[in-house]
Structure 1
């Protein structure tokens, strides 16, 4: 007959009459579910376009104090279109700059526009939503593709969107380089490398209402991009 293994008092749970000891402890440890503490979403922890868009939307809504890229609080002009911009950010376009339309008077006026970053799917969704509208859409290739992939950006586009005393004061449609993005979102915005890289891999999208002073046309057109296709 084989020798019986002795069970010491140290290996016996006296209250339950069952074996314990190192072997059982190791088995119990293997069954434990470990949970990783999730860091709160902020400009330092954001990792992708969706998270950057959500943070930008929160900043526009006033629930966080610090904004992207340029930082600081909203100016009065941006407040007038903040709800529309927040929706745009949550629908896939991480906005960088924008302005509302202002009717021309005394040589001054504005075209409504917005520019930002979007992935392939969101860019296609915006294209489809604006198809057949009067909106001017400019899509430049990702900065990463231009830097490393040998893809050239489109010819320089320079569309005036703000007049002051009859002269163009602000123009948009230009291409943002990888250095631009790193400076705006990394150096100034405090975003981490993964977030900056997601912007570098994104298409650069600019949408402009060509009619001076028209206030809601652009935002109504972009709102279609965020709707369920079956409800359009």
Structure 2
């Protein structure tokens, strides 16, 4: 049985943090499993199983100064309730450095991602952008991201940090980045773009190109050869693969 409180060692580690660099390192370590607990999350629990594949990208963002506070991969499929669920890939971040914020927004916007930024500096104008629906069940919205959090809620999320660090993270920019497409089709561009922001990926070293102009016989959405047995990148990809026997095509 897991104890419902943070260990003394973890409490001391979070309380000792003074800078965004300190906070980013601790958040990265929690994502990687070397710290059991983090502020604003159930004590002695790590990330959800669906986050496992995202940990390298999220940890790199944290160490670069863009502190991740929530995320999900893009998925589509049946849920436990029997409904059809769709998820857009997304990530919520706290950024306190203006140059990093500008770089982040420029890269993900150029890559076609949806972005919401809320400036919590004292006296800053409030954003009027609506939240973005991130999850649906049978076409009905079940979760949205990108809404503005109240200052009191931001402080509660970081309870246990030194007050000077709480002041830094609660008076920065709260950023949400969301893939425009639901399902796995949104994973590739979102996480690659975020890896570029963190420095985990150098786009100059990429040699795979893009799927903007597919070759004959390739899915326009994910680049996979048409008439293959799956998995499909989305329901649209599956639909595109139906209705043609293609007897002379060997499945992969």
TM-score range, shorter chain: 0.7 to 0.9
Gaps of at least 5 residues in structure 2 are 1-10, 205-252
Q: CA deviation at 1:176?
A: 1.6
CA distance in 1, matches of 2:30, 2:201: 28
Residue 192 and residue 84 in structure 1: after superposition, are their counterparts in 2 closer, same or farther (change >3 A)? same
Number of the residue aligned with 2:218: none
Q: CA deviation at 1:67?
A: 2.2
Number of the residue aligned with 1:164: 137
Matched position secondary structure for 2:154: helix
Segment of structure 1 superposing worse, 102-111 or 217-226? 102-111
Q: Deviations over 1:169-227 (max 9, x none)?
A: 110111122101111111xxx11211211112211111100100122221101111123
Q: Is the 8 A contact 2:60 2:200 kept in 1?
A: no
Q: Does 1:203 align with 2:173?
A: yes
Q: CA deviation at 1:229?
A: 11
Alignment of 1:62-211 (within 5 A): 62-71=33-42, 72-103=45-76, 106-119=83-96, 120-142=98-120, 144-145=121-122, 149=123, 151-186=124-159, 190-211=160-181
TM-score by length of 1: 0.73
TM-score by length of 2: 0.67
Matched position secondary structure for 1:180: helix
Gaps of at least 5 residues in structure 1 are 1-39
CA distance in 2, matches of 1:230, 1:219: 13
Q: Deviations over 1:20-75 (max 9, x none)?
A: xxxxxxxxxxxxxxxxxxxx982111122221111111111111111232142222
Number of the residue aligned with 1:61: 32
CA distance in 2, matches of 1:51, 1:128: 26
Q: Is the 8 A contact 2:75 2:87 kept in 1?
A: yes
Number of the residue aligned with 1:224: 196
Greater C-alpha radius of gyration:
1
Size of the aligned set, in residue pairs, is 185
CA distance in 1, matches of 2:137, 2:62: 29
Q: Deviations over 1:82-134 (max 9, x none)?
A: 11111111122111111010025553110000011102121012023224211
Residue 229 and residue 131 in structure 1: after superposition, are their counterparts in 2 closer, same or farther (change >3 A)? farther
